[in-house]
Chains A and B, each alone.
Chain A
Amino acid sequence: GIQVEQSPPDLILQEGANSTLRCNFSDSVNNLQWFHQNPWGQLINLFYIPSGTKQNGRLSATTVATERYSLLYISSSQTTDSGVYFCAGANAGKSTFGDGTTLTVKP
């Protein structure tokens, strides 16, 4: 099956800083998503982005499908951005998740 590697595993930022999270896949995927898991455990959909670039407010994502990676950009981080960010990809059937990046934004 597909292997998903996320980096960095942990990230600590001061409020207002920018960050980039990365997701590498061992094989081509035709479904790719980014999620934010909040402190209450709820998985929030951020982006469904098999290829290209999308933006939603302070967040944006880019997937380079031919090179099997995706990037999530967080600008002007806020304390409410804290939590775990997961990427997940599939090329047939089930989606495989990475181990996540734990983001802590300090006031």
Chain B
Amino acid sequence: GAGVSQSPSNKVTEKGKDVELRCDPISGHTALYWYRQSLGQGLEFLIYFQGNSAPDKSGLPSDRFSAERTGGSVSTLTIQRTQQEDSAVYLCASSPSGPGELFFGEGSRLTVL
């Protein structure tokens, strides 16, 4: 597609369940970022992938959060044993070469009941 694609757009889950969020970046973009935005707040950095380099995981809030990027393209953010405080919009962005101009997807809204 022409833009960054994220799925699902909405996810409602029960506390304690695992969730996977997917990001398909713009074709040819080497850098991929995950951010989190809680209601009414700014964007919180989670993780950054650049080419084949080791990812910058410095923003992951706990060991329940992990992410991978397969083949330098699609990325999956996994949250294990979800908690209510994990409820937020999870935003993915890509850039042609990192760091550079970011292009965001529409986000995945996660609600943990």
**A48 adjacent to B101 (CB under 8 Å):** yes
Whether B42 lies near A99 (C-beta < 8 A) is yes
Count of chain A to chain B residue pairs whose CB atoms are closer than 8 Å in the complex = 52
Q: Which residues of A contact B87 (CB under 8 A)?
A: none
Instruction: Select one of B33, B41, B106 contacting A95, CB under 8 A.
Output: B33
Q: Which residue of B lies closest to A91 (CB)?
A: B99
10 further interface pairs, Cβ-Cβ under 8 Å (given A93-B48, A97-B35): A31-B101, A41-B107, A42-B107, A43-B104, A45-B101, A86-B43, A93-B50, A94-B48, A96-B45, A97-B42
Chain A residues proximal to chain B, CB less than 8 Å: 30-31, 33, 35, 41-43, 45, 48, 86, 88, 90, 92-100
B residues contacting A by CB (< 8 A) are: 33, 35, 37, 41-43, 45, 48, 50, 56, 58-59, 89, 91, 98-104, 106-107
